[in-house]
Structure 1
């Protein structure tokens, strides 16, 4: 009973002026109606005291720390006013006095900021032209970096690749022949040349030789026919002998001479092939190391970031040009670049030539357009006529049925075939 009476005394509301035994004094407290941060009420203006950093430690050691670093409440402001501290000023936070919101800083560096007058910093306008310029600069910097993926491959020779292709460009003109050299031949013509090369493409495919072997074979034939008059009955002998020389220069495993005799239906003997080999080497002064379109094709395909389909279609376009005598007027680098450009147009169904391709090939899309239109015409007619060796080769699954890709006929719609501008060397 005594314990219950004691608990009742503690919970009992005290009479004014008489403290209840055992209950802590609460002091002078305001009524709830004086509190301004009621839920749903209008925002109450307040003053935030900020003190700038005067020194590294955040205070001036010569002056004692002021008590005003406390939050500026009404009770604290009233106590300071009663003490008469001259260094501090009491700010009125009456919401009706709008002019008192902008306060001047007091002597100790404290600045009063009205929260209601805070305005968010507006968004900074982004200069899109400057951003595009930075993107173009980054793209230009990455143009010459197509060899970074092969930096760890010693066979890629990334340290010398730019010098190698500079050398190829300087010497590709030496590997070219006069586009009208056939006029000096008395017994053969351009059509016979086309028949020979179309047959050699089939032989090359049957022997499963390397791509560079085929392009070197055609180059040897043209350079020899430019300097030597050949009768019609020995034209095929020149072709098989040129392939033998190209195999010796490019291949690891070279076909034996007897195989070439059989593939030519025994039209020539082994001795005739060896004699023609001597004649060709002496006529060309043993110069077998020349830049062919294949050399540039590998580089331009890398610049185009090609996949297997683009690679096969590009080589299909290039081999179509081997048969055509009229394509001898173009340099090897331009033929390779135009083949990649035409293949991209056929696959993507739109004109596509990136800055990276333009930088590494040194040809613009306009410079390639004339040669590319001729390739589109060859592509359109590849499956017709008698010389269909290239079309049949690239219609197989081994070569991805590249010949069945629709030709880029839209390149022909802008005008007739016109000769391209000279390349930038």
Structure 2
């Protein structure tokens, strides 16, 4: 059965209507088609006030009572027709750059007032331009939401089903690390209390321990904890030059007992030190260190922050290796003790990103999870770039040789981000 719209135009059946429209997208212009009310069957939802039956086989036409609003709408019909005619003339001058709009419902001005049906709200339907503007505004809102989601990602969502990731309280863990990292730090000028050793001897010791760590194939956590134990012990206990290497191998033994599954035996450490010490001396130094540190081995080192911050940076294998190469260079340098472990980790990742990408890169996600802005990292990052540039020169090249192997992706051969240093002169 045919339907009569508010302008008394007879619509064809659905099949003929689709054939006439061709490939036109219905969802795009569904509110702009002639003969389609803004809401289906909206006219029939109101009670009928008056029916005029022209033929008993034809449907009755609904009329509204003559009110002031209705009279004003009839008076404005010619003006709206004139405006629509001007609009059509402007659209014809634009050429065929886009499809011309289908005549809207307002074309009913050519009908006689006796057969015209006025819509309930007396408002014209939106034109094609208005619909396109509405669609574009919706798309812009969706795009803006996507940008916001990309700028602050939930890095733990992918590990929601991994019990080892402890997603439920991983934020509390790292909040505790940030609160307690100060307890694992030492005064950056503690060497002034030592009378027989200096920062150069410390650098030689740690560079040698990095090679020992690599030869024994120990875990990364062990190396960072070894250096932390050495610094905390030397900050509280004076040591003569001949015992400094003993402090180093004993600190590595303690770190292995804390972190490793398979711990090197004491004889292996004595052998690696060219039998400079006896087993008894190692055990006595072990007792002295743990008592001096009050058996506190649970301190947040830069390693724990590296794992979290690399995840926030969405790093790949290349960025991970370069970040660890940079931060291991910092372990040798005495002047880097003035930075917190979390700041060292964030700056190492930032420096690695700059080196790989060739420009400064620090995302909102990294800033959120590290709590460090790019400006806060620049001082530490510039020192790291300088270490990277000089890594292969001088006498202490243990880290450079380690990361020049294929096992570590030849990360030491990457180009340093020298443009970070140039920013200091601006």
Distance 1:261 1:281 in 2: 19
Match for residue 189 of structure 1 among 179, 183, 198: 198
Deviation of 1:104 after TM superposition, in Å, equals 2.9
Deviations 1:226-251 (A, max 9, x none): 00000000000000000000000000
1:304 corresponds to which residue?
313
**What does residue 84 of structure 1 align with?**
none
Which residue number in structure 1 is paired with residue 294 of structure 2? Answer: 285
User: Structure 1 CA distance, aligned partners of 2:407 and 2:357?
Assistant: 22
**Is structure 2 residue 363 aligned with structure 1 residue 375?**
no
Q: 1: distance between equivalents of 2:303 and 2:294?
A: 22
Q: TM-score, normalised by structure 1?
A: 0.73
Which position in structure 2 is the counterpart of 1:138? 149
Contact 1:53 1:59 in 2 (8 A): no
- Structure 1: stretches of 5+ with no match in the other structure: 1-46, 72-97, 112-116, 418-425
Moved over 2 A (4+): 47-56, 58-71, 102-107, 117-123, 125-140
Instruction: Give runs of aligned pairs for residues 80-119 of structure 1, distance below 5 A.
Output: 101-104=110-113, 106=115, 109=117
Query: CA 1:61–1:157 in structure 2 vs 1: closer, same or farther (change >3 Å)?
Result: same
Q: Give 1:405's aligned residue.
A: 414
User: Structure 2: how far apart are the matches of 1:250 and 1:371?
Assistant: 28
1:55 Cα offset (Å): 3.9
Q: Deviations over 1:244-296 (max 9, x none)?
A: 00000000000000000100000001111011000000000000000000000
Q: 1:67 aligns with which of 42, 55, 59?
A: 55
Shift in alpha-carbon separation, 1:275–1:49, aligned structure 2, 3 A: closer
Question: What's the offset of the Cα at 1:415?
Answer: 1.2
The corresponding residue for 1:422 is none
Alignment-derived partner of residue 246 in structure 1 = 255
Q: Deviations over 1:289-348 (max 9, x none)?
A: 000000000000000000000000000000000000000000000000000000000000
Q: Distance in 1 between matches of 2:248 and 2:58?
A: 101
Q: Does structure 1 residue 256 correspond to structure 2 residue 265?
A: yes
Corresponding residue to 2:357 among 343, 348, 352: 348
Aligned partners of 1:412 and 1:385: how far apart in 2? Answer: 21
Give the structure with the larger helix fraction: 2
C-alpha distance in 1 between matches for 2:336 and 2:160 = 36
CA distance in 1, matches of 2:335, 2:36: 88
Q: Does 1:153 align with 2:162?
A: yes
> If the length of structure 2 is used for normalisation, what is the TM-score?
0.73
Higher Rg:
1
How has the CA–CA distance of structure 1 residues 258 and 66 changed in structure 2, closer, same or farther, with 3 Å as cutoff? farther
CA 1:69–1:405 in structure 2 vs 1: closer, same or farther (change >3 Å)? farther
99 and 132 in structure 1: CA distance in 2 versus 1, 3 angstrom threshold: closer
Deviations 1:19-47 (A, max 9, x none): xxxxxxxxxxxxxxxxxxxxxxxxxxxx9
The structure-2 alpha-carbon separation of the partners of 1:338 and 1:54, relative to structure 1 and needing over 3 Å to count, comes to closer
Residue 404 of structure 2, aligned match among 387, 395, 398? 395
User: How big is the shift at 1:119?
Assistant: 6.1
Aligned with residue 337 of structure 1, among 334, 346, 362: 346
- Provide the aligned C-alpha RMSD in A: 3.1
**Structure 2: distance between partners of 1:404 and 1:200:** 22
